[in-house]
Structure 1
Amino acid sequence: MNYKQLDPSKTYLVTGAAGFIGYYLSKKLLEQRCRVIGVDNINDYYDVNLKYTRLDRLAPYENFTFVKGDISDKETITRLFEEYRPNYVINLAAQAGVRYSIENPDVYIQSNIIGFYNIIEACRNYPVDHLVYASSSSVYGANKKVPFEESDQVDNPVSLYASTKKSNELMAHTYSHLYKIPATGLRFFTVYGPMGRPDMAYFGFTDKFFAGESIKIFNNGDFENDLYRDFTYIDDIVEGIERLLTVPPTGEVKHKVYNIGNNNPEKLMVFIETLEKCLSNTLGQAVEFNKVFEPIKPGDVPATYASTDLLQEAVGFKPKTSIEEGLQRFVDWYVEYYEVEEKALEKVNSYS
């Protein structure tokens, strides 16, 4: 365990700073008086108001500089590195979503392949202490061996999104080998929490409930062989990144990949029942979703389950937030942010 405190005299470039993980990471760095340069193109993949709310909460920090720009624009990235000379780069900007990649492949190639290439090429031309970048648990594809370990074979992705993330890992390995760039890839496992992404299931289920609509569950209604997910709370993700930042890989090829997951997979139906309980707690009345069961979607995988041994070995950290605690925080935030409590109580009463 050799991680150190962050150095506030250094400059930290966070791409995707208006995104879910990018916002929380930027906030954590700023709270430690680090200088943060945040970059985001604020695309409309989901509600931009939420992105602007996140940025509004970062704006009061004197050490925060926001640049609206797209990582797929090489000129923009080169200019950023030239002007700010970041010591640490955390690349979280990406086109997210597995299902969306099936209908919209172009945007994934632009952001996740070309964008990542521009970042790592800039790290070559303007050397950095450490490049940390977002990979994904989706690289494991439909692997049946669990828990997923970083040494597992990951050559059979089942979505274009997963392919782009695997490509990032390959590019980072090559650049580390050729140009000695210290780079660490993080395979995130189903990140959730307050101010999260509205395209994620738990957020969508909550939206549907308050709109008085049914929720769709893509598991064929098969409770025995239900989908398993390693749901990881946002604070755990951020702490893992923070600790790894000061531990750049060493050795001949300065490239490592780590899982950041909860190491405690839950059945999707258990997660949904917990969300119902949390809503019941907040609203003071019993909540039950109206559920519609459908077949699993192309690109979805039956289970995600992270081994976090390598992460623990490297920085002495293992995610620990339970879904009960994490989902309660999400629900409390949601009700306050969207000011839905009164409407919700009417809705709950109409169901009973």
Structure 2
Amino acid sequence: MTVYDFAIVGAGMAGASLAAELAEHASVLLLEAEDAPGYHATGRSAAFWEECYGGPEIVPLTLASGTYLRDRGFLDRRGALYVGREGKRGALDAFMDRFGDTGATIERLERPALAERIPGLRSEWTGAVWEPACADIDVAGLHADYLQQAKTRGVDLRTRARIAQVEREDGAWTLASESGEQFRAATLVNAAGAWADGLAEAAGIRPLGIQPLRRTVVQLRVDPAPPSDMPLVLDISGRFYFKPEAGRVWLSPHDEEPSEACDAAPEELAVAEAIDRLQGVVDWRVEAVERRWAGLRSFAPDRRPVYGYDPRAEGFAWFAGQGGFGIQTAPAAARLASQILLGLERDAMTRALDAGLYAPERFG
């Protein structure tokens, strides 16, 4: 049986990007439980690159990924507005203070400039933080590109390979799928997203407390239709975000409902809450709910991602806990993680990143 240098479990954006990076220097097996890669969180993303999303400790990963994404044509600039009602000036000021030294490009806007960018904005929304660099991401294109890079570099991708048993002996892991296939690798990389803690437990390793949280998105037909160049609009209080998409509106109530690892489905209450919150922001008439979906965003207890070898287990590495920012940080995250796992020097993309922020050792 072939013994690969690395077996990565999970072929969403995380696993695909890391496989492509590792395969320049090592043999890589990429295992996906579903019929095709990207079925879960990757295929259900709201698809934006936003410099402040995830908090100040995520900004360096986002900024470090920006050049890669722009140069390869995966970003289409849109801009973003964090909007606040009357009485939320303090929250807007706090946002400016929180992100002022991170390198993100942000500025305050008052009501006249805000109303110009969001047609039909209700009068009680009086201020905002403007982020001009925010862009739409071609998520499917980026994921496909990483899978193609991985294939070109010799990665062995196996789909319908849901792992049922994991054992380590003689310096290597043996992974058995539910269908009875067996695979061996010196290092097992946990890129299983919502299933990350479950995979760790199957390998006899202490889980980190990575919690899947359900996020709901709906596609609405509204009158008037939103302008195609309208920015992404986010509530400074974290209760919604929405943006135009092909003449429709993509809207989320910014929900974070704890969930088991599963094929997530939207709940009617979350859909109703999303629509109610939108109608409190703009005077558009909602004509139809055309689509609704949900995905699982998985966070470590401190809401930072986890990259690197587990200090308590030989040959077991984490590439998980990437929440809702895993796609917009994918290039820098995968490059950094591959350098950690391979013991390589940093390059221009990763040199300024503090790997200790994301190391598994922080959990003791």
Task: Please classify the TM superposition score into its range, dividing by the shorter chain length.
Answer: 0.3 to 0.5
TM-score by length of 2: 0.32
Structure with the bigger percentage of helix = 1
Larger Rg: 2
Higher relative contact order (CA 8 A, sep 6+): 2
TM-score by length of 1: 0.33
Structure with the bigger percentage of strand = 2
